[in-house]
A and B are shown apart, each in its own frame.
Chain A
Amino acid sequence: MTFFDRLFSGWNSECLLYGGAMALVAGIIVLVVSLRSMKIQREARINMSYIDRDSSRVEKIRDVYLYTN
């Protein structure tokens, strides 16, 4: 069995449906990432660089459990 025989015999309708959906999602992700890279981006880490970690502190008062879902 050649590579192409094997490649095309592996497909069935379920495979086409899920494979197609995954490929579509991947294409959308690539497109969104590409479009975002064309616009002005701010790096999150710059905000952290303002904070002087030596003199900053956070005191824990309490942790209150609210609910589980």
Chain B
Amino acid sequence: MADTSHYKCPSCGAPITYVPGTGRLVCEFCGTEVPVENLIDSAKKEPSFKWTGTDTSETAPDREYVCSSCGATLEAFDSAIVTACPYCGNNISSTEDVKGSYRPNLIIPFRFTKEEAAARIEAHLKKKHLLPKGYVKAAKQGELRAVYVPYWLFDCVLDGPVNLSGEISYTEEVKESDGSTRTENRTEHYRLERYAHLDFKRLPVDASTHFDDKAMDALEPYSWSELTDFSDVYFTGCLAEKFNSTPDDESGRVLGKVIEGMQEYFSSTERHYSNVRVSEDGTRLETGDVKYVMLPIYSLNFTFAGKREQIYMNGQTSRIAADLPVRGIRAAWRFLWSTALVFALIGIVTAYV
């Protein structure tokens, strides 16, 4: 049976919950406020995840939990650190899953409360005029969960020769044999030979297969200045997952992000040229340190027209990621009125110019 961790109110003994953006835990029953620092023993440095360069980490085993509220015995969702009791809704957190090599190095606490998150998601949806009728109403009735998602933060260096292709375009006046002139558009093509040393810091890749990679990438960027030493104090009132994919499992995604970053870096540095592309890549990627971190995400789940819908919000920046459905008739109407509007504007300009 796994140990469970609970933070109790010093006045009445009821569970206390972390309030996003305040740095305090509050008792729902007597209103007592406790600063986070009071519950974290900063002098006591507990061992946490350490990257050794090779994948020795294994995903944590499944465990049984006993709900402290209703006493039910339950088997947790396979990679949850904090899970909700299906009988009484109480959040149960396992101390076993945040110990030793499973203990995250760092965490970004939630900045937005559940109410603020719900309001921001609703405001975002109300701006989407192509949504089907009833979608916003269904979303409002959905289940909004505050979840800490496990991430790997990679430090890596890309080093080596790179060949790029670049263009310089210009117009030139050309004199014809009969004395007249004509304008010619020319494009000069170049091969740019460079030696690159690109230092990537804190490149994030989510470490859970339960979350859509495309959506997790779209929730970036995070403000790393708010990273703080891990403590399960921040888990109170939230759900949390542990990693179920190792840094080696995610190496392909890291490489993909590094290549994208390299392409954009060159586009921004070679301003003399346009259409800068990497044509030959002789670089090699060296992975340095890898940190295990917990990042705050709101997940809204609901069903609409028989289909399961999911909307994510970054709990630190409020950035929203969702694949939203489109009502065909609304899209057609938007196309028609925008076409008619431009047509009318051209008509007015033609009449008066």
| Chain A interface (Cβ < 8 Å from any Cβ of B) | 6-7, 9-11, 15, 19-20, 22-24, 26-28, 30-31, 34-35, 37-52, 55-69
Contacts and interface: CB of A to CB of B under 8 A. Distances in A.
Contact of B215 (A7, A40, A45, A64): A40
B128 interface: yes
Given A23-B339, A31-B338, A49 B347 contact: no
Given A31-B335, A47-B260, A61-B161, A22 B346 contact: yes
B187 A68 contact: yes
Interface residues of B, number: 60
Main secondary structure of the interface of A (DSSP, over half): mixed
B119 interface: no
Contact of A15 (B188, B202, B266, B350): B350
Contacts, number: 154
B84 to A, nearest CB: 27
Interface in B306-350: 321-326, 331, 334-336, 338-340, 342-343, 346-348, 350
15 contacts: A6-B351, A30-B335, A30-B338, A39-B323, A42-B220, A46-B217, A46-B220, A50-B200, A50-B202, A57-B196, A57-B197, A58-B266, A61-B161, A62-B193, A64-B191
B269 interface: yes
B322 A40 contact: yes
Contact of A41 (B129, B186, B218, B351): B218
A47 B264 contact: yes
Contact of A23 (B188, B202, B323, B346): B346
B351 A50 contact: no
A56 B197 contact: yes
B335 A28 contact: yes
Given A40-B322, A40-B323, A51-B265, A58 B196 contact: yes
B347 A7 contact: yes
B194 A20 contact: no
A6 B352 contact: yes
A55 B334 CA distance: 48
Given A7-B351, A64-B190, A27 B265 contact: no
Contacts of B189: 65-69
B199 A55 contact: yes
Contacts of A40: 214-215, 218, 321-323
A35 B326 contact: yes
B143 to A, nearest CB: 20
B193 A61 contact: yes
Contacts of A56: 197-199, 265
Contacts of A66: 188-191
B288 to A, nearest CB: 11
A20 B194 CA distance: 48
B21 to A, nearest CB: 23
B60 interface: no
A59 B201 contact: no
A44 to B, nearest CB: 6
Interface string B127-164: 01111000000000000000000000000000001000
Interface string B247-282: 000000000011011001110110000000000000
Contact of B200 (A7, A35, A51): A51
The 9 closest A-B pairs by CB, nearest first: A27-B339, A10-B351, A23-B343, A30-B338, A61-B193, A19-B346, A26-B342, A23-B342, A55-B199
Given A24-B339, A38-B128, A57-B197, A65 B347 contact: no
A69 B201 contact: no
B66 interface: no
B36 interface: no
B190 A65 contact: yes
A7 to B, nearest CB: 5
Contacts of B186: 68-69
